[in-house]
Amino acid sequence: MSLTETNDGVGFGVDLHRFAVDPERGFLPPRDPLRQLPPTFATWEEVAADLPKLLAQTALERVVARLPVLDPSGLDGAALRRAMLLLSFIGHGYVWEKWQTEQRDRLPANLAVPWYQVAQRLGRPPVLAYASYALDNWRRLDPNGPIELGNLALLQNFLGGVDEEWFVTVHIDIEAKAGPALEALTRAQAAVARGDLDLLTSYLERIAAVVERLGQTLARMPEHCDPYIYYNRVRPYIHGFSQHPVIYEGVAAYQGEPRAFYGETGAQSTIIPSLDAGLGIEHRPDELRVYLNYMRDYMPPEHRAFLAAIEAGPSIRAYVLEHQKEGVLVDAYNEAVHWLEAFRQRHLEYAAAYIQKQSAYSPYNSTTYGTGGTPFMPYLKKHRDETTAHQIQKVATTPHR
């Protein structure tokens, strides 16, 4: 990670914009997501707009069959990301339209081919991922207001309703609030490189305060997202194809072979992996850790690169361990670790309430496997406990005689 001096007199840090990271919005796009593609792509927009009604009537299959084959090669930037959003929602709606009894095992070429083409250019698999489900899927009700709950609405839904809206917008609010912590992580690593203990302490305090706010936002999930509604109306459509692979018709690169892609999951957000990397939180090998490494392929490439830069940067934890006699520094580090553990604890509670304790009546909506396609409960507990174990004991200074 190359360190570059900032011009605000605060310290040093990486160039966040090089990684598509905004110091205020975090991993959200620096400009609000595009709300409509050019007229050439009106049919995609129309099907996506009608998706809740089509799914309610199980009428999506015949509508998709009539879609023209459109060429997305002229799209770029925000338009390319919106195309990915539309095709991902339509594609998952198509596969999971009858999720109570079946999963469709193939996608028609008029949908599969442009979806693959768009995904290739974005450096991600052709499946609904967190980037399309949350990062690029919002608008502000008041365009001049904050990016936070109460001023957020989704651009695209599966079935719609307050529970689906709230579930996703809670994540968007968290993403927006995380921006200052991501910037502080890079500044904290730079402070380590300079050996500036006081500056490191202040950045760790900033990280702790931000992570505490992230947990406060997550704690609001039950306000408008009921566990039963989430499990039966929201969750079914975001499952991937890892357990039941799908054929992408017309995609020459796949040679007619079924493809197994993981589903949309918060594990594809880069926030928690970045905090783990910056704070030096290590997890012993397990099935979830392997899965989380796979999830990087579903992140936007720039965000993957940011995470790699944090991992390659100076070790904050090692520096704090070398200065255990500095009580204020150790306290600041431990506070950041504490709020990260608290966030994981809250997430664990929701995994139990919103998934594990629900009654499964379809083999396509398991209470054992997450939407990404991996067993989750024992490993979430393990990762929470491993976070707690990274608290550092202060070393008392020897009094002068």
Q: Name residues whose C-beta falls within 8 Å of residue 58's C-beta, 6 or more positions apart in sequence.
A: 97, 98
pLDDT in the model for residue 285: 81
44 near 70, Cβ under 8 Å?
A: yes
Q: Of 153-157, 281-285, 338-342, where does mean pLDDT reach its minimum?
A: 281-285
Token duo for residue 94: 């198509």
- Please report whether residue 233 resides in a domain: yes
Q: CA neighbours within 13 Å on the CB side: how many for 161?
A: 15
Residue 132: name the closest of 228, 254, 33, 54 by CA. 33
Q: How many domains does the chain have?
A: 1
Q: Is residue 401 part of a domain?
A: no
Q: Give the pLDDT score at 400.
A: 43
User: Is 168 within a domain?
Assistant: yes
pLDDT band of 51, cuts 50, 70, 90: very high
Distance of CA 38 to CAs 43, 49, 75, 78, 139, Å?
Answer: 11, 15, 9, 12, 18
Task: Give residue 399's pLDDT band: very low, low, confident or very high (50, 70, 90).
Answer: very low
348 and 384 Cβ atoms separated by less than 8 Å: yes
Average pLDDT of the segment spanning 24-50:
98
153: helix, coil or strand?
strand
Bigger pLDDT: 256 vs 394: 256
Q: Which residue has the tokens 């001023």?
A: 151
| Predicted local confidence at residue 360, as pLDDT | 79
**Which comes out higher in pLDDT, residue 202 or 351?**
202
Q: Are 309 and 180 in contact (CB under 8 A)?
A: no
Q: Considering the domain boundaries, does residue 394 fall inside one?
A: no
Cβ atoms of 152 and 138 within 8 Å: the answer is: yes
Mean local confidence (pLDDT), 193-217: 98
Residue 104 CB neighbour total at 10 angstroms? 16
How far, in Å, CA of 290 to CA of 310, rounded? 19
Token readout for 22 is 């905004």
Q: Whole-angstrom Cα distance, residue 304 to residue 32?
A: 21
| CB 114, CB 72: distance < 8 Å | yes
Reported confidence tier of residue 382, pLDDT bands at 50, 70, 90: confident
Q: Does residue 347 sit within a domain?
A: yes
| Lowest pLDDT segment from 54-63, 100-109, 378-387 | 378-387
Of the chain, the end-to-end C-alpha distance in Å amounts to 45
CB 263 within 8 A of CB 239: yes
Interhelix angle 162-194/271-279, rounded to 10 degrees, is 20
| CA pseudo-torsion sign 65, 263, 82, 223 | positive
Task: Let me know if residue 400 belongs to a domain.
Answer: no
For 144, list phi and psi in degrees, rounded to 5.
Answer: -100, 0
Residue among 79, 89, 75 nearest 132 (CA):
89
The string of pLDDT tens digits covering residues 232-252 is 999 999 999 998 999 999 999
Q: Is the pLDDT of residue 5 over 50?
A: no
Distance of CA 201 to the CA centre of its chain: 28
Q: Assign 140 to helix, strand or coil.
A: strand
What pLDDT was estimated at residue 401? 39
Residue 12: what pLDDT? 47
- Average pLDDT score over residue span 134-146: 98
Per-residue pLDDT, 13? 57
Q: State which residues form the domain around 357.
A: 4-388
CATH of the domain at 110: 1.20.58.480
Residue 246 DSSP SS3: strand
Q: Taking 70 as the threshold, does the pLDDT of residue 3 lie above it? A: no
Cβ distance 52 to 160 under 8 Å?
Answer: yes
Measured between alpha carbons, how far is 234 from 125 in angstroms, rounded to an integer? 22
Query: What pLDDT, on a 0 to 100 scale, did the predictor assign at position 75?
Result: 98
Sign of CA dihedral 73, 301, 138, 133: positive
Report, in this order, helix, strand and coil percent for the chain, each rounded to 5.
55, 5, 40
Q: Which of 181, 155, 179 is nearest to 168 (CA)?
A: 155
Residue 393 lies in a domain: no
Q: Which pLDDT value is given to residue 8?
A: 38
For residue 296, being part of any structural domain is answered with yes
